[in-house]
Amino acid sequence: MMNIVLLGPPGAGKGTQAQRLVNGRGMLQLSTGDMLREAVASGTPVGLKAKAVMEAGELVSDAIVSALIGERLDSAGDAGVIFDGFPRTRAQAEALDLLLAERGRSLDHVVEICVEEDALVERITGRFSCASCGTGYHDRFKQPRQEGVCDVCSSTDFCRRPDDNEQTVRTRLAEYRRKTEPILPYYNERTLVRRVDGMRSVDEVAARIDAVLDSSELVRGA
């Protein structure tokens, strides 16, 4: 049971790579962004608090997102977990360590996906997803095999996130540099960080992440 964090700026490819790990390895993806969007869509108290903050591209409070992760971890069973978009602050990183320790888990890797700023803006402004199953696509980089039809579930409904516009992206990137990047030293002290070049194709990034995860399996098996 391996537990990993996918760290990287908005649009780096965290969700795309997490989906591949879920399909390929049966891991469980815990995305605070997805959880918050569900809360907004169903109008829960958390959703009501988070909506405007998310639309502005700012960060939702540490207490809210840490509580969401704690709830989901309780039903994770034996599956290895991919933390996607969490933690995003030093306080969240500390909360995660506590939540894991309480459940007899710990982090194996923090995979940092590095992508240049111009590429991030292009990835985010072209992003869309299946409204029915959530599979992610891109106008230029990952179109459905048949135009207008989801590869996975054949739905013809797609959606774009309200915060995926150029102006909000700039705020989200600034939040990342100011609040999320400072987590790296916290994990580096424990030699958990594995840097992956996220400028490559989806398949090449996936191969590099696989290499990270498989190398540690060898060490453990020895």
Which residues form the catalytic set? 14, 88, 127, 161, 172
Query: Which residues are registered as beta bridge partners of 129?
Result: 136, 159
Helices 202-221, 14-25: axis angle to 10 degrees equals 50
Please tell me whether residue 59 binds ligand ADP under the rule CB under 6 A: yes
Question: Is the Cα torsion angle 30, 36, 38, 44 positive or negative in sign?
Answer: positive
Q: Report the site for Zn ion in 10-49 (rule: CB under 5 A).
A: none
* Site residue total, ligand ADP (CB under 6 A): 34
Closest-by-Cβ residue to ligand ADP is 33
What is the rounded CA–CA span in Å between residue 126 and residue 158? 13
Please tell me whether residue 33 binds ligand ADP under the rule CB under 6 A: yes
Minimum distance from CB of 189 to ligand ADP (Å)?
A: 21
CB proximity list for 32: less than 8 A, separation 6 or greater = 60, 65, 68, 69, 84, 85, 86, 88
Please tell me whether residue 98 binds Zn ion under the rule CB under 5 A: no
CA atoms within 13 A on the CB side of 144: 19
Minimum distance from CB of 220 to ligand ADP (Å)?
A: 28
- Cα-Cα-Cα-Cα torsion 61, 65, 67, 70, nearest 10 degrees, comes to -150
**Taking Cα atoms as reference points, which of 80, 17, 114, 88 lies closest to residue 217?**
80
Minimum distance from CB of 219 to ligand ADP (Å)?
A: 27
CB proximity list for 132: less than 8 A, separation 6 or greater = 150, 153, 155, 157
CB of 85 or CB of 144, closer to ligand ADP: 85
Instruction: Please pick, from the candidates 53, 91, 184, 212, the single residue that binds ligand ADP as defined by CB under 6 A.
Output: 53
Q: Quick one: which segment of 32-40, 73-81, 101-109, 210-218 binds ligand ADP (CB under 6 A)?
A: 32-40
CB of 58 or CB of 210, closer to ligand ADP: 58
Binding residues for ligand ADP (CB under 6 A): 8, 10-16, 32-33, 36, 53-54, 57-60, 65, 85-86, 88, 92, 123, 126-127, 136-138, 141-142, 172, 201-202, 205
- Positions touching Zn ion (CB under 5 A) are 130, 132-133, 135, 150, 152-153, 155
